[in-house]
Amino acid sequence: MPAKSRTYQHPKVSAALAAQTAALRDTVRDLCARPDAADLLARPTRLGEWTVRELIAHLAVQIDWVPAHLGDPLEGRAPLDLLQWVVRVGTVAPLLDAQAREKAAGEFGGAPASVADAFQRAAAGLIAVLAEPGTATPGRRFEIRLGSMSLTDMLVTRLVETVVHADDLADAVGSAAFPHERQALAAVTRLLADALADQAPGGAVELRIPPYAVVQAVEGPRHTRGTPPNVVETDPLTWIRLATGRTGWASAVDAGAVSASGERSDLRAYLPVLG
């Protein structure tokens, strides 16, 4: 059976997103205050042709999306759940790329201090909206090009953006591990684990990502008791990198970041899961 979309609690999601956004704001501010900030902004990233400046601009677009569109009228788009979003978000990649490049050439095209100020404005806008009591109205919908989502689910997609791209940013500038908010990291880990179970349904392999998630996936004999014959175990950030195509399966296994036992435990055919 395909996985069902997990239910996320709005207060926890809002608090996690506010904290993750604040950590990103501080990271961008500190980066832009460095003597070599101009060179850092021009560095390449692991995201194709994007520079650090374009990555920061993309993050600002994603952070600002909810405040900018919260009051938009509903247009009757088909309902979209989180597992569907994971599969389909890749179809709007050209649009997201164009938005990032336009933003990087405009509001984020100036000196490092102006980049920090622009990102601060975007972060402050989202944090303010998340603090408004009316934002958590039960059943509130939010429409994007891919469909109509619950507002809570939309905020979970912002957690994906801020966690995944914060890791991209840390990688690009060679900094220490990003201080991810714990609940943000947990939510993204669980969503991408559920996506594997949805896209490769079955019970032949048990994927363990302590301390946040355990799912069964891959067609074949289902494990019911005792030690599973096929087990994959890894840490949250390695799983997120695998699930989003930042890390290859073989390299993660060779580096000891993934433990895989059993003849069906090779998951490379099912990765990445994020469209």
Q: What is the pLDDT of residues 198-236, one digit of tens each?
A: 999 999 999 999 999 999 999 987 656 667 789 999 999
Asked whether the predicted pLDDT for residue 155 surpasses 60, the reply is yes
Confidence of residue 136 (pLDDT cuts 50, 70, 90): confident
Please compute the mean of the pLDDT values over residues 35-40 and round it to a whole number.
98
The structural domains of the chain, with segments of one domain joined by +, span 10-184, 200-270
> Mean pLDDT, to the nearest integer, of 41-60?
97
Predicted confidence (pLDDT) at residue 2 exceeds the cutoff of 50: no
228: left (phi over 0), alpha (psi -120 to 50) or beta: beta
**Domain 200-270 grouped into CATH 3.30.1050.40:** yes
Can you tell me the mean pLDDT for 252-266?
95
pLDDT at 3: 55
Read out DSSP for 92-129? GHHHHHHHHHHHHHTTTSS-HHHHHHHHHHHHHHHHHH
Rounded Cα–Cα distance for residues 188 and 163 (Å): 7
Per-residue pLDDT at 226:
61
Per-residue pLDDT for 66 more than 70? yes
CA dihedral 236, 239, 244, 249 (to 10 degrees): 160
Measured CA distances, 190 to 176, 195, 210 (Å) = 24, 8, 10
Q: Region 25-43: what's the mean pLDDT?
A: 98
Structure tokens at 247: 């890390």
Q: How far is residue 131's CA from residue 115's CA, in Å, rounded to a whole number?
A: 25
Segment holding 156, helix H or strand E: helix 151-173
Q: What is the mean pLDDT of residues 143-171?
A: 97
Can you give the pLDDT at residue 224?
A: 60
Q: For 227-238, b where at least 16 C-beta lie within 10 A, e where not — what string?
A: ebbbbbbbebbb
pLDDT in tens, 68-89: 999 899 888 999 999 999 999 9
DSSP label at 214?
A: E
Mean pLDDT score of the chain: 94
Q: Which CATH class is domain 10-184?
A: mainly alpha
Q: By the 8 A CB rule, do 240 and 188 touch?
A: yes
For 229-250, write each residue's pLDDT tens digit: 899 999 999 999 999 999 999 9
195: number of CA atoms within 13 Å, CB side?
A: 27
